[in-house]
Structure 1
C-alpha cells in the first residue's frame, strides 16, 4: 500500500519545496495568523500525550462579519509517522482564501492502534466544534480533510456517528469530507487479501482482528444520511488506493450520494499532497466551492 521510505523523506521534500517558493510563501503566509500547539485532550486524561494531543489553528487576519468555514486536516504517514508541523503550508494557503484551518496531531502506532487514533481525531474535531468560534470559524460549517492514512481517518469520522456520541456529542458535527488519495477506506478487504509485499506491517496499527479491520473502515459505515464527500485520486497512485477509492465511490452511489470524484492524471501518492503548496491547485478550487468559502 504505502512505502515507508517515501514517508521518511516527505519532510525533506516539503523543506526543499519551501525553499524553492520562499518568496511566494511569504506573500501567501502574511494574511494568516497561526495559534500553535493547542492542547485538545485534558492533561489530566489518562490517555494524554504531550506531543500528539496538540493542534494548530490557522485563521485569516482579515476580519469577517460572518464566521468562516472550517477545515480540520489530518496528516498521513502509514499510521505510524507524520506530524502537523509538516503541513503549515495547507493552513496558510486556505487561511489566505478565507477558511479557518485546524491541523492536528494524533497518536501513532506502535504505541496505539487505529481505534485509538480515530478517537484522538474525533476528540480534535469535538474540540474544534466547541472552540472554533473563538478563532472566527463557524462550527456549523465544519469539514474534515486528509491525505493517505489521514484520508481514511477523515472518511471514518464522517461516516461513523458513534465516534462522537462516545465523547458526548449528540450528533456528528462534520458537514463533509475532502479525501486526498485516501488509504484505509476498506482495510477489511485489504488485510484479508494480503496482496502486496510487507502487508503484514499493517497488522501493527490494525491488529490481527478482522472485526477491527471492518470497524475502522469507512466503507462499512456510510449510510444514506452520511455527509457528502469529494475525492481526489492520483492517476499513478498505488493500486490499492485507486481500487478501494473506486469501491468507496460505488458504495456511495448505491446509497444515493453523488460524490465528486476527480482522478488527476500522472500524479503519484506523495505528489498528491505536495501539490497543495500552490494556492490555486485544483483541490483548493473544488474545496472552496464545497465548503462555501
Structure 2
C-alpha cells in the first residue's frame, strides 16, 4: 500500500521528536545503570544541539504537519524537550556568576590581578562560548611523548605520557591522574585537556597506576608517589619546574591526587585540582547514591579489599578528608549537582573542612552536570570548568 510522502514524513517527525525528547530527558532523569549513565553524562553537555533539534521539530509541528493527532504529539514532545534543554542554557550565566563569586571568595577578590598579563591573555576569554561549542575549542600545537616507563612494581610496567609546549623552555608541571573507579583507565584519557593545557604553558604528565581488584590500596597511592619522585628527578629532561607542580585528577584519580598531596611527607605540591573525586570513603560506603549505577560498595570493596565492617581503619586511611591536620596546598574542587557516582555533597563537605582548618580552597558546583561531565571537551560544563581551572592554575603557579 502506497503511503503519501507527507504522512510518512509526519510519522518520521513523530518518531524523531520522541527520540530527541528521550535524549533530552536524561538532563534531569537519574540514570539507573551504566548504559543510561552515558546518556545522563552527555545530554546536558550537548544541550545546545538538543535544543536546536527540539526547536526544529517544534517548527515542523506548527507549519508542516497537518494531521492533528500527530501534530499534537510532535508539538508536546518538542516543547518538553525545549524546556528541559532551555533550563541548562538559561542557567549558564547564573552558574558562572556563582562560580566567579566562589573563586574570589577562595582566592581573594583581586586574584585575577595577580596573574601576569602574558599568562591571562592565553586563557579562554569567556566561561561559555557558543562558537567553541559548535566548532570545538582550539587545542594548539604541543610536543607529545608516549610510553615513558617510570616504574615496574612487581613486574607491572607503569608508563606516562608527556605533553609539552611547542617552544623549548622551563614550565610549571601539571600531573594528571585518570579516573575509572581505580579499576580501569589509561594515560590517554582526556588527552584534549592535556594538549590544551600544555599549549598554554605547562608541562603535563599523564601518569598510570596499578588497578584494582588485582592490586588494592595503597598500591595506587604508592604508584602516584613513585611517579612524582620520577618527575622531580627527571624534571629537567622534560622542561618541567619541579618546584611548581600541581596534581590534577578526575574521579578516582582526583582521590589519589588529594591523598598524594596531603601526605605529611609529600613532595612540594603547589595545588590540587579535584574533578568530582571521592573524599570520604567511609561515608560513601555507608550512604551510597540512589540510584547507584556502578554499585559503589562493590567498587570500594574491590579497591580496599573488603567492606567497611571488615576494614574500617583502611577506609579511614584511604579518605583524603582525614588528612586535614597540617597546612595543605590550595585545592580546587569541581562537582556536578546531579552526580550519582560521587555526590556533590562530599565535595562541599571537603571544602568546608579545608576552609575551616585555614586552608585555601574553592568549591565549584555545576547544577546540571553528572559525573565525568568533562568527557565532552567543548561541552557546556567543561567550558565552565576549564575557564576556572586555568585561572586557578595560573594563580597558584604564576601569581606575582
User: Where does residue 165 of structure 2 map in the other structure?
Assistant: 60
Task: State the alpha-carbon separation in 2 of the partners of residues 49 and 7 from structure 1.
Answer: 34
CA contact (8 A) 2:344 2:365 kept: no
Q: How does 1:190-269 map to 2 (within 5 A)?
A: 190-194=284-288, 196=290, 197=292, 198-201=295-298, 202-208=300-306, 209-238=311-340, 240-269=342-371
CA, structure 1 residues 187+6, in 2 after alignment: closer, same or farther (shift >3 Å)? farther
TM-score by length of 1: 0.80
Once the two structures are TM-superposed, the CA of residue 248 in structure 1 deviates from its matched residue by 0.9
Change (3 A) 1:85 1:139: same
Q: Does 1:100 align with 2:203?
A: yes
User: Which structure shows the higher strand fraction?
Assistant: 1
Report SS of the residue matched to 1:28.
coil
Match of 1:155?
258
Gap change, CA 1:276 and 1:7, over 3 Å in 2 = farther
Compared CA separation, residues 264 and 8, structure 1 to 2 (3 A):
closer
The verdict on how the C-alpha distance between 1:285 and 1:227 changes in structure 2, with shifts beyond 3 A counting, is closer
How far off is 1:242 after superposition?
0.9
Which secondary structure state, in structure 2, belongs to the residue aligned with residue 145 of structure 1? Answer: strand
Instruction: Please tell me whether Structure 1 or Structure 2 has the larger radius of gyration of its CA atoms.
Output: 2
In the alignment, the residues of structure 2 paired with residue 148 and residue 217 of structure 1 have an alpha-carbon distance, to the nearest angstrom, of 13
Query: Are 1:77 and 2:180 counterparts?
Result: yes
TM-aligned CA distance change 1:103 to 1:93, over 3 Å: same
Uncovered stretches (5+) of structure 2, i.e. residues with no partner: 1-30, 47-131
Asked if the contact 1:181–1:272 (Cα under 8 Å) also holds between the matched residues in 2, the reply is: no
Displaced runs of 4+ in structure 1, greater than 6 A? 6-10, 20-23, 276-279
User: Deviation of residue 21 (structure 1)?
Assistant: 9.0
Matched position secondary structure for 1:117: helix
- Distance of 1:126 and 1:22 partners within structure 2: 41
CA contact (8 A) 1:90 1:276 kept: no
Give the count of matched residue pairs: 267
RMSD of aligned alpha carbons: 3.0
